[in-house]
Amino acid sequence: MTHYPYLIVGGGMTADAAVRAIRAADPNGAVGLISTEPHPPYARPPLSKGLWKGDPESGIWRGTDSIDVTLRLGRRVTAIDPKAQTVTDDQGEVTRYGTLLLATGGSPRRLPIEDDQIIYFRTYDDYRRLRALANERQRFAVLGGGFIGTEIAAALRMAGREVVMLVPEAGLGARVFPADLSRFLVGYYKEQGVKPRTGEGFAGLTERAGTLILKTTSGEELQVDTVVAGLGIQPNVALAEQAGVRVENGIVVDELLRTSRPEIFAAGDVANFFNPALGTRVRVEHEDNANTMGAAAGRAMAGQGMPYTHLPFFYSDLFQLGYEAVGELDARLETVSDWKEPFREGVVYYLRDGRVRGVLLWNTWGQVDAARALIAERGPFQAPQLKGRLPHS
Ligand SMILES: Cc1cc2nc3c(=O)[nH]c(=O)nc-3n(C[C@H](O)[C@H](O)[C@H](O)COP(=O)(O)OP(=O)(O)OC[C@H]3O[C@@H](n4cnc5c(N)ncnc54)[C@H](O)[C@@H]3O)c2cc1C
């Protein structure tokens, strides 16, 4: 039976960052990585952004395969035996570990229907499939107006396709942005030629004479060629649950990213960790967290752990608009908007009980660290104190 002092389940950005950190801390200990995907680790953000703007596909690969690590790709780990410190994969192979990292990420939420016509966009293979269809077909429907839905709709539109969006909420990014900004985005997307249908959801999908008929909750039938869904993800916790590791909105980890079994670690989209600046546990589904937490987990596995106190940022592009954001961006919080030009450039502060919980830097760059520092301050803040607090670009 193969034994790895360091074994990683998952082949995403978290896994790549962990491999690199382990290698830096321990040049000799063997590292194994088992991933369901047939590809070595790659960056996901370009799949809905740069690759549609002409960036080369060759730029997405993380180069994990050029580090001293054994990659076992196209295999799903199906069971962990924490007592024996082994994992079993779907080819029946058993591998022993000294320390184990669960970097299993998340899987797209799916509609309760069996239909392989819907692309639940997450992976490089999903990108390849959608890209090929975008070369052949004209009419696309995007389900969901959140992070992935808005990016994919923009990408398809920039590729010259007809795009209709079904968005059950009143605006785009409605769970994250203040209501006025979320409504502005509906008009902005319309100006770009996208047809967002707000307050309207998915009710069914049938096929007639080679055309897909998308039924909406308002009873309309839309003729489309392809349906893409961006309905959020669910953390892949089944393995952790089977292993008896504590799970609660993700795999619960301590400050050294250990699960309730100290030789099993978790990091990235799947991990639920305590963030000191926010004073609460969070699970973050973004790149900065995957990279930083993956590296922190790798160091901890190699015995060089430091408390993970990083407050991650995230970013997105929506046609010509773009943003960076830090902390808790929840549209239900009180918000204070400080626009240089309304909805085009400015800063939005998210507050609870007078304390800044999150900062949205809308077309405003270079302020991520200042936003982090503001969130770490206790406050309380009044709205006028925040105006001009972070400079516009
Ligand atoms: C299209 C897209 C665009 C994005 N854009 C941005 C952005 O602009 N900004 C930003 O901050 N974030 C963005 N994100 C989010 C960011 O990509 C994720 O936070 C990050 O990829 C999470 O990395 P991860 O390694 O933790 O999880 P994942 O990327 O989900 O990787 C998990 C890996 O584990 C494997 N796996 C799962 N279960 C098993 C098992 N049982 N056995 C073996 N392998 C298993 C999976 O196959 C996968 O390879 C985007 C995500 C997507 C999908």
State the distance from the centre of ligand 1 to the C-alpha of 69, rounded, in angstroms: 20
- The pLDDT tens digits for 242-257 are 999 999 999 999 999 9
Confirm if 72 and 32 have CB atoms less than 8 A apart: yes
Quick one: pLDDT at residue 130? 98
State the distance from the centre of ligand 1 to the C-alpha of 269, rounded, in angstroms: 7
Q: For ligand 1, which residues put their CB under 6 angstroms from it?
A: 9-15, 34-37, 44-45, 47-48, 76-77, 103-106, 121-122, 148, 236, 239, 268-269, 285-288, 290, 314-316
- The pLDDT tens digits for 7-28 are 999 999 999 999 999 999 999 9
Quick one: pLDDT at residue 209? 86
Quick one: pLDDT at residue 392? 77
Q: How far apart are CA 17 and CA 292, in angstroms?
A: 7
Q: How far apart are CA 36 and CA 39, in angstroms?
A: 9
State the distance from the centre of ligand 1 to the C-alpha of 232, rounded, in angstroms: 12
In angstroms, how far is CA 340 from the centroid of its own chain? 29
Q: Which atom of ligand 1 is nearest to the CA of 285?
A: 19
Q: How far apart are CA 91 and CA 76, in angstroms?
A: 8
State the distance from the centre of ligand 1 to the C-alpha of 194, rounded, in angstroms: 27
Q: How far apart are CA 333 and CA 353, in angstroms?
A: 9
Quick one: pLDDT at residue 116? 85
* CA dihedral over 130, 231, 309, 391, signed as positive or negative: positive
Q: Which atom of ligand 1 is nearest to the CA of 267?
A: 26
Q: What residue owns the CA closest to ligand 1's atom 49?
A: 11
- The pLDDT tens digits for 280-321 are 999 999 999 999 999 999 999 999 999 999 999 999 999 999
Tokens 């199906």, located at residue: 78
Choose one of 8, 34, 36 to mutate for the ligand 1 pocket test, by most ligand atoms within 8 angstroms of C-beta.
36
Cβ partners under 8 Å of residue 326, min gap 6: 311, 312, 313, 358, 359, 361, 368, 371, 372, 375
Choose one of 286, 308, 329 to mutate for the ligand 1 pocket test, by most ligand atoms within 8 angstroms of C-beta.
286
State the distance from the centre of ligand 1 to the C-alpha of 13, rounded, in angstroms: 7
Q: Which atom of ligand 1 is nearest to the CA of 122?
A: 53
Q: Which atom of ligand 1 is nearest to the CA of 89?
A: 42
State the distance from the centre of ligand 1 to the C-alpha of 265, rounded, in angstroms: 17
Q: What residue owns the CA closest to ligand 1's atom 20?
A: 287
pTM score: 0.97
State the distance from the centre of ligand 1 to the C-alpha of 38, rounded, in angstroms: 14
State the distance from the centre of ligand 1 to the C-alpha of 122, rounded, in angstroms: 7
- The pLDDT tens digits for 170-208 are 999 999 999 999 999 999 999 999 999 999 999 999 999
| Cα–Cα nearest to 139, from 26, 221, 237 | 221
State the distance from the centre of ligand 1 to the C-alpha of 103, rounded, in angstroms: 9
pLDDT band, very low/low/confident/very high, at 210 (cuts 50, 70, 90): confident
Q: How far apart are CA 154 and CA 351, in angstroms?
A: 30
Cβ partners under 8 Å of residue 345, min gap 6: 339, 362, 363, 364, 392, 393
Six-digit token pair at 240? 């952790």
Six-digit token pair at 390? 């972070």
